Amino acid sequence: MRPKRLRTWIALLLLALLLIGFTSYVGAIWSQSDPIINVEANLSQPATRSPALVVDSALREAGFPGALYSSNEYDLVAEKVQDSRDPKEITIGVTSRQVDAIDMPDVVSLGTIGEQPLMILARGDAAPWTSPADLHGLRVQIGPPGSIANEVGTELLAQFGVTSSNSVFLQDKTSEASMSLVKGESDAMLALYSPEDTTLAPLVGRDDVHFVPTPATQAAAGHIGSVIAGSIPQGAVSVIDNVPSQDIPSISIPITVIANSSISRAAAFRIAAALDYQFSRGTVLSPPGKFPNFDQELLADPSAAEYYSGGVIPWEYRTFSAPVADLFIPIAVIGSIMLIVFSVYGVLVPSLMEMWTTVIRPQMKARGKRRDNEEST
C-alpha cells in the first residue's frame, strides 16, 4: 500500500473512532437521570422551614429526586453540606449559623433570605427593662444546648455582664420555656422571632411580659461576629394590637440557603428562580430589594448569582435534562472541535466520495480481479 493511501486510511480510522467516541459520550450523558438532591433544615423553626419548603418544592417540580430532612436544634447543617460522605448526602441546607468559608470551602451561598431577630422577653414592669443587663441575677431561659438562641444568646448576655456565674441559666425548649415564664418559674427567656410563628403571640401579648431591648446593637453584634444589628419591627407580632408598640433594637441572625459547590447548575437555576419569586418582594424580616444579600465571606453560587443579575434561566436549562444541560458547553466545544477537524480534513485530504471512487473502489475491483485470476489458474 502506498504511503499516501496508508495515511488516508489512518485518517479515516481516527475520524471514525472520534465520531464513535463523541456519539457514545453524548448518548451516555443523555441516558443519565437527574441527580438526587436532598435538602435539610430545622423545620421546627418557621424562619428556616419556609425557605426549605420553597427549595424542596422547586426541585420536585423540576423533576429532581430527593428528600427533605428535618434537623433538630443540635444538628449542623453546613457541616453536612460540606461533607459528601454524610449518610444523608445533603446537597442543600438552610442555616442560621455562620459558615466559615475556610473550614468549609465546598459550601456556597444561594442567597440570604432574611435576618431573624433574637427576642428577649421578661416578666414584670415595663419600666425597668432597658437592657439585657437588667437580667443580672435572674432566672433566664436561654434555649436548649446547641441551639442558635443558646449559642448567640449567651454571647449577647455576656456582653452586658450576665453570665451563668451571676444568674441562673435554664435550657428548656421554647414551648417549655414559655410555660415556665407564664407560671413564674423563670424571669426571662430568649427566642428567635419569626413572622410565621404564632405560638409565642399569646405570651408576647400578656400585660406582664415585655420585650427587653438591646442597646448598642452595632457594637454588640460586632463583638459576637456572626450576627448583625437589627430590630423587631413595630407591629411585627400583631399589627392590630400594635405589638410591639415600637421598634425593638435587637441583634439578628442571617438565614442563608447554602449548597455544596458541586450542585447541578440546572438545580441552582431552578432554586434561585423560586427563592427570588418568594423573597425578593420582601418579608417582615427582609425589605424588598434586599434579597439575595450574599454573605461577603461565603462565596455565591455562580449559577444563582447569574440568575439574580439577569432574571433568566438559560435556554439549554429550560430545554434539556439536567445532565445534558450541565454539560452542554463541553459537548458544544467538543462538537465544534470535531467540525473543525472534519473541515480541515475535507480541505487537506480528498473527500470521502473521491476516496471511494478513486482509491477504495478501484482497490476492491483490483483485488477481485486478482482473486478471479488466481481461481481460474
> If you average pLDDT over residues 79-101, what whole number do you get?
86
Instruction: Name the more confident of 374 and 139.
Output: 139
> If you average pLDDT over residues 71-82, what whole number do you get?
81
- Please give the pLDDT value at position 369: 72
Percent of the chain with pLDDT over 90: 29
Per DSSP, 155 falls in state H
For the chain, how far is it from start to end, CA to CA, in angstroms?
25
Asked if residue 137 has pLDDT above 60, the reply is yes
- Please give the pLDDT value at position 29: 46
Asked if residue 375 has pLDDT above 90, the reply is no
3-state secondary structure 269-304: HHHHHHHHHHHCCCECCECCCCCCCCCCCCCECHHH
- Please give the pLDDT value at position 145: 85
Asked if residue 370 has pLDDT above 50, the reply is yes
Tell me the pLDDT tens digit for each residue of 143-198. Answer: 888 788 888 899 999 999 999 999 999 999 888 998 999 888 999 999 888 777 77
- Helix 265-279 vs helix 302-310: angle between axes, to the nearest 10 degrees? 50
- Please give the pLDDT value at position 12: 57
Percent of the chain with pLDDT over 70: 73
Using the CB atoms, write b or e for 281-317: b if 16+ within 10 Å.
eebbbbeeebbbbbbeebbbbebbbbbbeeeebbebb
Angle at 149 between CA 241 and CA 234, to 5 degrees: 20
Asked if residue 141 has pLDDT above 70, the reply is yes
- Please give the pLDDT value at position 30: 46
> If you average pLDDT over residues 110-117, what whole number do you get?
86
Tell me the pLDDT tens digit for each residue of 198-213. Answer: 778 788 878 888 899 9
CA–CA gap between residue 317 and residue 301 (Å, rounded): 16
Minimum mean pLDDT among 81-90, 160-169, 365-374: which range? 365-374
User: Which of the residue ranges 211-215, 218-222, 327-331 has the most confident prediction, judged by mean pLDDT?
Assistant: 211-215
CA–CA gap between residue 364 and residue 285 (Å, rounded): 81
Asked if residue 342 has pLDDT above 60, the reply is no
Yes or no: say if 41 and 52 are a contact pair by the CB < 8 Å rule: yes
Instruction: Name the more confident of 298 and 28.
Output: 298
223: confidence class by pLDDT, cuts 50, 70, 90: confident
Asked if residue 286 has pLDDT above 90, the reply is no
Q: What share of the chain is helix, strand, coil (3-state, %, to 5)?
A: 45, 20, 35
Asked if residue 341 has pLDDT above 80, the reply is no
Asked if residue 276 has pLDDT above 80, the reply is yes
Minimum mean pLDDT among 99-103, 138-142, 353-357: which range? 353-357
121: confidence class by pLDDT, cuts 50, 70, 90: very high
Ordered DSSP codes for 76-119 = -HHHHHH-TTSTT-EEEEEESS---TTT-TTEEEEEEEEEEEEE
- Please give the pLDDT value at position 204: 83
Locate cell 429526586: which residue? 65
Ordered DSSP codes for 344-372 = HHHHHS--HHHHIIIIIHHHHHHHHHHHH
